[in-house]
Amino acid sequence: MCGIVGYIGKKDAQEVLLEGLKRLEYRGYDSSGIALMKDKEDLSEKKQFFLKVIKAVGKVMCLEEKLSKEKLSSHIGIAHTRWATHGKPSEKNAHPHQDDGGYVAIVHNGIIENYKELKEKLEKRGHTFVSETDSEVIAQCIGDKMKTKSFEEAFFLTLKELRGAYAVVAVSPSDPEKILAARFSSPLVLGVGKEEYILASDVSALVEYTDKVVYIEDNEAVLLTPQGYSLRTFSNRAKGERKIETLEWSSDQAKKEGFAHYMLKEIFQQPHALTDTMRGRILLEEGMVRLGGLSSVEKKLRNITKIVLVGCGTARCASLVGEYMIEEYAGISVEVEYAHEFRYKKSLLDKKTAVIVLSQSGETADTLASVREAKRKGVLTLGIVNVVGSTIARETDAGIYNHAGPEIAVASTKAFTSQLIVLALLTVYLGRQRGMSLVMGKRILREIQTLPRKIQSILDDAKKIKKVAEKYSAFESMFFLGRKYNYPVALEGSIKLKEISYIHAEGLATGELKHGPIAMIDKNFPSFFLALNDSVYEKSVTGIEEVKARSGKTIALVTKGDKKVSKMVDDVLEIPKTLEMLTPILSVIPLQLFSYYIASKRNLDVDKPRNLAKSVTVE
Ligand code: G6P
């Protein structure tokens, strides 16, 4: 997920683009860049147009500093702030990308799944690539075609070759008064001002300049000139007029896309984020998974007999789900460790052990120390990390990126579910290297593909969850209880509630209730049960009865169609049915919303809870 801006109009393009980038910085902030079309009046007699491309690693501030040294008057340009997906943050990998013939510059948001094939083809045709990104192929592909074709023809022919997800914006000095852009699965919006047009990955970049917008649809392109815009099909045919909409968002609301908080936005982003996590990785026919980041260690992984999963906070809860998944379906023994414990423990690791660390940020000090400790012992280390190029991603031997996009709210939501998707994919990968049948591989993968749609159906029911949450917002303590796959979800639910609402919450394995915690139960101490229709359903029912007998209030999360538990508890919430190993990816969603609505009912600063930091880079 990156930020894109394009400008054509009477204002100074550099200023508008930089301002737009600053507003989009929440979408990605590891590097940025700008391409400006040199104005006609600055040209020599030869009438040659050229593009000035300037890039910088780090926040948009760094690019601004560089630009302040060479101000370039221009009225057409494109810009980008990057959240790396392929290749570490560096100037070479930053956008805009250019082709080696100097025909074109592009900015891209999304993932080009077939970039390796396209790159090989273009290399054979003599092109030299300078970056490690998937995006550069778009520029090289357009440039290659522009040797014999116009900018427009080359752009539209290139779209036909791209697979994956993209919003792409391009400019060319050969056709200097034009911007071409296209959208396939990644957002793109056009701001329509007075004799000026701004293209952006979301409205926050343009609300300063105009409140009139046209949402570019999927499979749609747009052609901009100083005189106007035209919506096109991917075959470059003009489409009919589209209604211009009027925005009612302030710029702060725009960043959150209309949601009251980043946390809520990130919860609602999950269907999209998880689609990105699985994109290009599922080989359904083979019942197999393609994990490019593991290709260098594939053979080593075949011989692994033990895995240690290491993480902190939410990442540790995900690890616990991973333990159930990998042990049950890949048949490898798994241990889960807190990173801060693992680093000081005498662990029995050997050459057949892999240490897999999970970290959204890739910078958590204890988790990083665990990687270093495991490497010192000569053990294979892998990372499941969201931030590309982060320290953990760089120091582990190999790994898998979450591709969930930046997470801004301190309380982790989409990072957690994307970690679970990665763990499920890894389970199939390891399982298929061992005893897992083709049929089982296919079954799990097919079900994984349905999850974004099922999550969406839970989100569509958010109002009901809000109503239940608000009933419980005044209590001062709460238990979250689950068994087997949903025991770690109970832990994660309790973390969510305490970190943003400051209500004392404990996550428990339901079976543990009677061994001490039940002493707490009375009418002022509610319990939230995960009582799904899985292999431990009956055992969960027993726990509910124990609490009810002590006058404790009960809420249950059940599988759609449940009759028994629904009748027993005070309040009930539902999720759709899925494979037992995948239930945590659905069951955590109502818990995220439950905590969110309680915290907002209590008027708390949901995105920045007291005493907490997004990334803990000290021991
Ligand atoms: C902090 C955050 C948590 C997060 C944990 C691990 O405590 O507040 O939300 O789960 O760090 O972070 P990581 O970036 O390593 O996943």
Q: Hunting for tokens 């079954």 — which residue is that?
A: 443
**DSSP three-state, residue 293:** helix
Cβ–ligand 1 contact at 381 (below 6 Å): no
Q: By percentage, how much of the chain surpasses pLDDT 90? A: 78
Query: What DSSP string describes 418-440?
Result: HHHHHHHHHHHHHHHHTT--HHH
Residue 43 has pLDDT above 60, yes or no: no
Ligand 1 atom with minimal separation from the 387 CA: 14
Smallest CA-to-CA distance from 135 within 60, 90, 84 is with: 84
- Residues with active-site annotation: 2, 614
| Residue pLDDT, tens place only, 296-335 | 999 999 999 999 999 999 999 999 999 999 999 999 999 9
Separation of alpha carbons 97 and 131, rounded Å: 9
pLDDT of the residue at 376: 92
Ligand 1 atom with minimal separation from the 612 CA: 8
pLDDT of the residue at 82: 87
- DSSP H or E run through 139: helix 136-145
pTM of the model: 0.84
Helix axes 438-459, 270-278, angle to 10 degrees: 160
Cβ–ligand 1 contact at 313 (below 6 Å): yes
Q: Which two tokens stand for residue 598?
A: 């309680």
Cα(111) to centroid(ligand 1), Å = 26
Under the banding of pLDDT at 50, 70 and 90, the label for residue 48 is: low
- Choice between 1 and 359, residue whose per-residue pLDDT is larger: 359
Under the banding of pLDDT at 50, 70 and 90, the label for residue 40 is: low
In order of start, what are the domains of the chain with their CATH numbers? 2-254 (3.60.20.10), 255-459 (3.40.50.10490), 461-619 (3.40.50.10490)
> Could you write out the three-class secondary structure of 511-551?
HHHHHCHHHHCCCCCCEEEECCCCCCHHHHHHHHHHHHCCC
pLDDT of the residue at 47: 56
8 Å CB contact between 76 and 176: yes
Q: 112-118: long-range contacts (C-beta < 8 A, 24 or more apart)? A: 112/137, 112/138, 112/162, 112/163, 112/164, 112/166, 113/163, 113/164, 113/279, 113/280, 114/161, 114/162, 114/163, 114/164, 115/86, 115/164, 118/161, 118/162
Cβ–ligand 1 contact at 410 (below 6 Å): yes
pLDDT of the residue at 616: 79
Cα(364) to centroid(ligand 1), Å = 7
Residue 360 has pLDDT above 90, yes or no: yes
Cβ–ligand 1 contact at 367 (below 6 Å): yes
Ligand 1 atom with minimal separation from the 613 CA: 8
Beta bridge partners of 357: 310, 383
pLDDT of the residue at 398: 97
| Residue pLDDT, tens place only, 410-464 | 999 999 999 999 999 999 999 999 999 999 999 999 999 999 999 999 999 999 9
pLDDT of the residue at 566: 92
Cβ–ligand 1 contact at 33 (below 6 Å): no
Cα(77) to centroid(ligand 1), Å = 38
Under the banding of pLDDT at 50, 70 and 90, the label for residue 28 is: low
